Amino acid sequence: MQSVFQNGFRGRMQRALAISALLMCLVPCGFSAPADSAPDVILNATHVGPRRIEPLTERSVLRDYKFGWANLAQAFQSNSAGALNGLFAGTAITWLTDAVQSQIRAGLTSRYLNQHHKLDAVFYAPEGDLIELHDTAEYDYQILEGSKTIHTEHAFVHYVVLMTPGADRWVIRQLQSVPQF
Amino acid sequence: MSSSINTACKIHSAWRGSTFLLGLLCFTAMAFAQDVTLHPPSAAIAGQAAAIGTEGSGSATFYLIGPSSSMKRNVHLGREITLNAGELRQSGRYVAVVCNGRCTSAVFYVSPAKPASMIFLVHPSRAPVSQSDLISGVAIPFDEFKNLVLTPATVQFQLTAKGESPAPRGVETRDGIAWFRANSGKSAGALQVQASIKDVIARRVVQQVASDPCSLRIKGQRTSNGILIETEPVRDCSGNPVPDGTIVTFTAKNGNETSTVDAPVKQDVARARMAAKGPVVISAASGVVMGNELHLGAQE
């Protein structure tokens, strides 16, 4: 009888430990879920000039900028510059690739979590071959050395962005952070 | 039962023990970690050395994470951390982190240097003459490190056509971009388009070509093989000869019969040979322009 009782107690303890372990796993998983969530991007093109942005172009710019940031976050989190291919070109891809490579050399990784981007289109070239955007970005930024977090902040960053049309998408050519617009 | 309670107590005491140990470790780590204050540069310029002031003592690990670089090195607290020109080439946001048990960070911005190059987009490459607002140009200045220069600067645009005096205009950059729109000139030929900021100059050429034909006049005569028709030199409304290859369509009507021939302009003139024996009325057209009618009698 005592043995049965002890076994029952052990079983409950094991279940409790298992549930605790599961909860301990789920809590950080829950916090890290936004790391995989897509960036939230909105685009305001009401004050752009000298050319108006066609609705189809507006949708393409929004889509490609959003994918660009998702890829950027993945590249910096996994230290893999390959994720940058396709949506970045020119100076932007050179800088970002260099940043990922130097991150690897320094033994760092970084995370861009819970991204929100408020884009304002400020210039659209007369011939439609260049667009300038102002991005007021908000995200949780973490820098890690191995598994140790050495910097974490809820960052508000302003970016000046130049995008040009490619064969089937808009590519980011310049992604330059500034203190203010 | 008592065995179970003993087991629970052992787990509890073990938990308390580990908590105590963890607390002790944290306390020890905090005792060794010092408060560090960083004083980042307030007006750093791309490609220029700068320094970060530190307060505290002892050694620490310094990290600098910028737009295109990350680096790590050992530093001594209480001394300035020197950042050489090569470490601050890219304009943008930098995060400086110093860790000595505990990590302290500071954010600063690096501004672009002065313009050293320019992207200059000009459209179109071939422009018909006398068209309003047809030519446009966009100039974007960059510094020597490919940073977009956002400080307002005046870009001098200059359009120079052969035989015409240059038409300069100054446009101040806004958000790093200056642009213009202009009419095409009156005469065909190369239009030199230049953008400059101080000693930074970018040049492009727009080939101005004749517009559509303005009028058509034809003449013709019967020959042993039929009718030989040709235009007078075909010109646009500004008097420029239209480009070779411009198509002129000749139409011959003989009663109910109609025959058509397309002929390209070659050295200002389009020529065609048509077979018609009876009396014919010949006309010509190019684009939206119709020529005169030519009445020829029957072949003798």
Write out pLDDT tens, residues B226-257: 899 999 999 998 889 998 999 999 999 988 88
pLDDT of residue B223: 86
Q: B99 and B6 in one domain?
A: yes
Average pLDDT over residues A137-166: 96
Number of residues that this document lists for chain B:
300
Strand partners, B82: B51
> Are both B61 and B145 inside the same structural domain?
no
- pLDDT of B300 reads 60
Of all residues in chain A, the percent with pLDDT exceeding 90 is: 78
- Sequence-ordered list of residues with C-beta below 8 angstroms from that of B205, at least 6 positions apart, any chain: B190, B191, B192, B193
The range of the structural domain enclosing residue B165 comes to: 117-209
Percent of chain B with pLDDT over 70: 87
Closest CA in chain B for residue A141: B95
Interfacial B residues in 113-172 facing A (CB < 8 Å): 121, 123-124, 136, 138, 140, 146-148, 150
Q: Is the pLDDT of residue A63 over 80?
A: yes
Confidence grade of residue B275 (pLDDT, cut at 50, 70, 90): confident
Question: Looking at beta carbons, which residues of chain A come within 8 Å of B7?
Answer: 9
Beta bridge partners of B200: B197
Do residue B283 and residue B251 come from a single domain? yes
Query: How far B141 CA sits from the closest chain A CA (Å)?
Result: 13
Give tens-digit pLDDT for B116-150.
999 999 999 999 998 999 999 999 999 999 999 99
Assigned token pair, A101: 């490579």
* pLDDT of B11 above 70: no
Residues B122 and B186 grouped into a single domain: yes
What is the sign of the dihedral through the CA atoms of B216, B221, B223 and B225?
A: positive
Domain count across chain B: 3
CA angle B201, B203, B207 (to 5 degrees): 165
Mean pLDDT of chain B: 88
**Confidence at A31, pLDDT banded by 50, 70, 90:** very low
pLDDT band at B15 (very low <50, low <70, confident <90, very high): low
Residues B25 and B102 in one domain: yes
> If 0-12 CB within 10 Å is exposed, 13-18 middle and 19+ buried, where does residue A142 land?
middle
pLDDT at B149: 98
pLDDT, one tens digit per residue, over B193-225 is: 999 999 999 999 999 999 889 989 999 988 888
Please say which residue of B57, B89, B111 terminates a domain.
B111
Judged by CB atoms closer than 8 Å, whether chains meet at B68 and A95 is answered as yes
Quick one: B130 and B181 in the same domain?
yes
Describe the strand order of the beta sheet including B59-65 as a list of residue ranges: B44-45, B102-111, B92-100, B59-65, B70-76
Q: Which of B174, B209, B244 is the last residue of a domain?
A: B209
Last residue of one domain, picked from the residues B94, B111, B128: B111
CATH code: domain of residue B223? 2.60.40.10
CATH value at residue B145: 2.60.40.1930
Do B128 and B106 share a structural domain?
no
| Side chain identity, residue A40 | D
Tell me which H or E stretch contains A91.
helix A90-106
Instruction: Map residue A7 onto helix, strand or coil.
Output: helix
- B196 and B238 in a single domain? The answer is no
Per-residue pLDDT band at A34 (split at 50, 70, 90): very low
Mean pLDDT in residue range B169-186: 95
- Residue B276's pLDDT is 77
B106, B15: one domain: yes
Specify the 3-state DSSP secondary structure of B46: coil
B104 and B12 assigned to the same domain: yes
Same domain, B106 and B12: yes
What does the alpha-carbon distance between residue A153 and residue A142 come to, in Å, rounded to a whole number? 7
pLDDT above 60 (res A25): no
Co-location of B107 and B123 in the same domain:
no
d(CA B11, CA B15): 6
